[in-house]
Chain A
């Protein structure tokens, strides 16, 4: 898996848009970018996955520039319940099963 770098923590306020950037300078041609969310004392939950440009679902958007060396998870209008740790994973989706997580980004949403 390509090594990823994320901010350790971020603070935001309710109703704001939050953007969490992940750096993955060594991303390979076949690598996808996947984000997970983890609440305290729970297992991580898949949020979104993408390969290039932009992906959007009901929870978040994922922006990937043309060089794919970074990606940005965008959470629109966050609420207190979005307080969690967010993990960025980068790896081949068809030839790699040793799924490893980094330290993640601890997002705190304040009232």
Chain B
């Protein structure tokens, strides 16, 4: 089945450590996105990529890094520079250009700093 997969579902990180969240899609979508969601809040855009080897910062990119070496993959690294990383992270993909603007989301990764 086509879809977008995030892993792991739950992730625990010690303070000062970098962690990488995985996002893989087999929908043949060019555009991919990372969002952060805090409890009771909406989604905030971290990074997005429209094509392989290219990505742009969203509204809250500080403390995060991404790569887009393959069309199918858009991993997000939460670095030690991110002071409050505990949150729910969502990855999405869409066609490019998004003619019908329908994005598909993964099930999310819940990151907790311990």
> How far is it, in angstroms, between the C-alpha of A45 and the C-alpha of B99 when the chains are bound?
17
Chain A interface residue bracket vs B:
20 to 34
Bound: A91/B103 CA distance, A: 13
Which one of B103, B107, B110 lies within 8 Å of A99 (CB-CB)? B103
* Cross-chain contact A104 with B42 (CB below 8 angstroms): yes
Total A-B pairs in contact (CB under 8 Å)? Answer: 75
What 1/0 flags go to B72-114 for Cβ under 8 Å of A?
0000000000000000101110101111111111111010000
B8 lies within 8 A of chain A by Cβ: no
How distant is the Cα of A36 from the Cα of B43 in the complex, in angstroms?
A: 12
* CB of B45 within 8 Å of the partner chain: yes
> Within the assembled complex, what's the spacing in Å between the Cα atoms of A94 and B95?
10
Q: Which residues of B contact A (CB under 8 A)?
A: 31, 33, 35, 41-45, 48, 50, 56, 58-59, 88, 90-92, 94, 96-108, 110
Which residues does A use to contact B, with CB under 8 Å? 32, 34, 36, 41-46, 49, 85, 87, 89, 91, 93-104
What are 25 residue pairs bridging A and B, where the CB atoms are less than 8 Å apart in the complex?
A41-B110, A42-B107, A43-B108, A44-B43, A44-B90, A44-B103, A46-B104, A49-B100, A85-B42, A87-B43, A93-B101, A94-B97, A95-B97, A97-B48, A97-B50, A97-B98, A98-B45, A99-B33, A99-B48, A99-B92, A99-B94, A100-B45, A101-B35, A101-B42, A101-B43
